Amino acid sequence: MIQKPKGTRDILPDEVYKWQYIEGVVRDILENAGMGEIRVPVFEHTELFSRGVGETTDVVQKEMYTFEDKGGRSITLRPEGTAGVVRSYIENGMASQATPIKLWYEMPMYRYENVQKGRLREFRQIGTEVIGTESYLADVEVISLGAKIFEALNIPNIKLNINSIGCPVCRQKYQEALRDFIRPNLEKYCDTCKTRFEKNPMRILDCKEQKCKEMNQGAPIILDYLCEECREHFEKVKSLLMNLEIPFEIDSSIVRGLDYYTKTVFEFVSEDDGLTVLGGGRYDGLIKEIGGQDTPAVGFAMGVERLLEIFEKYNKDVIEDYNMDLYIATIGEEADLFATRLVMNLRDEGVFVEKDICSRSLKAQFKYADKKKARFVLTIGEDEVKKNYAKLKDMKTGEEVETKLKAEEIFSKLFE
Work out whether 253 is an interface residue with ligand ATP (CB under 6 A). no
Q: Between residues 50 and 379, which has the closer beta carbon with respect to Mg ion?
A: 50
Cβ-Cβ contacts under 8 Å for 393 (sequence gap 6 or more)? 376, 377, 378, 379, 399, 400
Q: Which residue is nearest to ligand ATP (CB)?
A: 303
Q: Between residues 201 and 257, which has the closer beta carbon with respect to Mg ion?
A: 257
Work out whether 159 is an interface residue with ligand ATP (CB under 6 A). no
Work out whether 120 is an interface residue with ligand ATP (CB under 6 A). yes
Neighbours of 257 (CB within 10 A): 18
* Region near ligand ATP per CB under 6 A, out of 42-50, 83-91, 302-310, 341-349: 302-310
Work out whether 306 is an interface residue with ligand ATP (CB under 6 A). yes
SS3 (DSSP) at 166: coil
What minimum distance in Å lies between the beta carbon of 257 and Mg ion?
Answer: 5
What minimum distance in Å lies between the beta carbon of 78 and ligand ATP?
Answer: 11
Residue length of the chain:
416
Listing DSSP states for 293-340 in one string gives -S--EEEEEEEHHHHHHHHHHH-TTTS-----SEEEEE-SHHHHHHHH
* Region near ligand ATP per CB under 6 A, out of 70-78, 82-90, 120-128, 317-325: 120-128
Sign of CA dihedral 28, 29, 30, 36: positive
Q: Between residues 272 and 305, which has the closer beta carbon with respect to ligand ATP?
A: 305
DSSP state of 97: S
Work out whether 105 is an interface residue with ligand ATP (CB under 6 A). no
Cβ atoms 238, 160 nearer than 8 A: no
Q: Please give the Cα distance from 206 to 48 (Å, whole number).
A: 22
Neighbours of 231 (CB within 10 A): 15
Q: Please give the Cα distance from 309 to 126 (Å, whole number).
A: 15
Sign of CA dihedral 333, 337, 340, 345: negative
| Per-residue binder mask for ligand ATP (CB under 6 A), 58-97, x = binder | ----------------------x-----------------
Cβ-Cβ contacts under 8 Å for 291 (sequence gap 6 or more)? 90
What minimum distance in Å lies between the beta carbon of 125 and ligand ATP?
Answer: 5
Cβ atoms 382, 335 nearer than 8 A: yes
Cβ-Cβ contacts under 8 Å for 1 (sequence gap 6 or more)? none
Cβ atoms 389, 405 nearer than 8 A: yes
Say how many residues touch Mg ion, by CB under 5 A: 1
* Region near Mg ion per CB under 5 A, out of 22-30, 254-262, 286-294, 330-338: 254-262
What minimum distance in Å lies between the beta carbon of 18 and ligand ATP?
Answer: 16
Q: Please give the Cα distance from 212 to 3 (Å, whole number).
A: 36
What minimum distance in Å lies between the beta carbon of 211 and Mg ion?
Answer: 19
- CA of 108: how far to CAs of 45, 77, 127, 305, 353, in Å? 17, 10, 11, 11, 32
Q: Between residues 77 and 378, which has the closer beta carbon with respect to ligand ATP?
A: 77
User: Out of 21, 25, 112, 119, which residue is the one contacting ligand ATP (CB under 6 A)?
Assistant: 119
Q: Between residues 256 and 263, which has the closer beta carbon with respect to ligand ATP?
A: 256
Site residues (CB under 5 A) for Mg ion, limited to 169-208 = none
User: Out of 77, 301, 390, 407, which residue is the one contacting ligand ATP (CB under 6 A)?
Assistant: 301
User: Out of 135, 252, 253, 276, which residue is the one contacting ligand ATP (CB under 6 A)?
Assistant: 276
* Region near ligand ATP per CB under 6 A, out of 113-121, 174-182, 234-242, 383-391: 113-121
Using CB under 6 A as the criterion, which residues of the chain lie in contact with ligand ATP when the complex forms? 80, 111, 113, 118-120, 123, 125, 256-258, 276-279, 301-303, 305-306
Using CB under 5 A as the criterion, which residues of the chain lie in contact with Mg ion when the complex forms? 257
